[in-house]
Amino acid sequence: MADESQSAGALAGIRVIDLTRVLGGPYCTQMLADHGADVIKVEPPGGDEVRDWGPPFRDGTASYYVGVNRNKRTMSLDLTVPKGREVLLRLLETADALIENQKVGTMERWGLGYETNLKARFPRLVYCHVTGFGATGPWGGLPGYDAAVQAVSGLISINGSRESGPVRMGTPMVDMGTGLYAANAILMALLERQRSGKGQFLDVALFDCAIALVHPHAANYFMSGKAPELIGNSHPNISPYDLYQTQGRPIFLAVGNNRQFLRLCQALGKPELTRDARFLTNQDRVVNRAALNDELGRLLAKRDGAALADQLLADGVPCGAMLSLPEVFAHPHTQHRNMVLNDGAYRGTGIPVKLSRTPGRMRWAPKPFGADGREVLSEAGMSAAEIDDLVAQGVLVEQRRRSG
């Protein structure tokens, strides 16, 4: 196993200019930065607004920002003025990728559009534009936030129970999923560039990514023609697949085949369920889901959920006793998998993708606003006097300009 403290990361040598704010783009670039890319986060003069999305706060910065902005260098430019755009163009001279989530048409209005301005000047640049709905079409150019896109993409319509009604997913899966798609797109384009020598434009929309995440409900609809119904914790295609009450913790059973169902029934002391005509196959168990849940509910109500989950997992039955987040982060397996990072006052979720030879690592916590502007511009060949002049003109911003 490689020594994480020494790894430069799989993306060492790749430079990314990050103009994104809020969640999808920053989540993407944090993943790239975790694996060694030199991500330069360029914030507007007012800062990334999620710095204010709290409480909780530490040193005036919200946890929302801290959670998706580690391992990045940060600076602020006023791109609304020509001099700020000149500085950005200078940074792009050594950049491999640019990712931004400005409103459609903004970059073009500033003379920074990919097709109109940047493609010819930086032919190897990979340019990723993250939007709510794309630039064209009936909703083209309209703003999109996670929950609103959950609504119009059908995700809310499939989440919840008959009792609760439609419910927003508890984590911002559209934003985070879009960030993952954007990271994949950037890596694909960089890989293709090795063959062609050319960059390209990447169009990544929250709406498109949300629709791509509606599985298996979309596939079921395309084949059956039936709109999905709200079924709570159950699965439309698998049974038993649900959260069950026990004497202790609730337990989630995710039984995907007959062998697993047999072992579950044996563990519950009722193997004859596997010979019941209603439950012979997964198809039978889905059709007779209510009857099966009644049977299992009675058996599970007599058992301790945590102990049973350990037994079933050892027997090869996918399941899990429900844990709270504090319990998850304290769990020995979470610690073993390095899924909590600690660096001084910083605590964050770990790096989920483990590369054996070039693993990602924590290099530094999220930086204060504008912390690296002078360093970045010095690397770009600017003198201290030039940088001071940019600060004096309000182009390079070192203190947030708070509105209101």
- Catalytic residue numbers? 175
Report the alpha-carbon distance of residue 354 to residue 1 in Å, rounded. Answer: 10
What would the DSSP string read from start to end of 136-200?
SSTTTT----HHHHHHHTTTGGGSEETTTEE---SS-HHHHHHHHHHHHHHHHHHHHHHHH----
- Answer yes or no: are the C-beta atoms of 18 and 99 closer than 8 Å: yes
Beta-strand runs (E) in 217-364: 241-244, 251-254, 319-321, 340-343, 346-349
Q: Can you read off the two tokens belonging to residue 399?
A: 């203190």
- Answer yes or no: are the C-beta atoms of 213 and 173 closer than 8 Å: yes
Beta-strand runs (E) in 255-397: 319-321, 340-343, 346-349
Q: What single-letter DSSP state applies at residue 235?
A: -
**CA nearest to 309, candidates 272, 259, 271, 254:** 254
What would the DSSP string read from start to end of 196-216?
H----EEEEEHHHHHHHT-TT
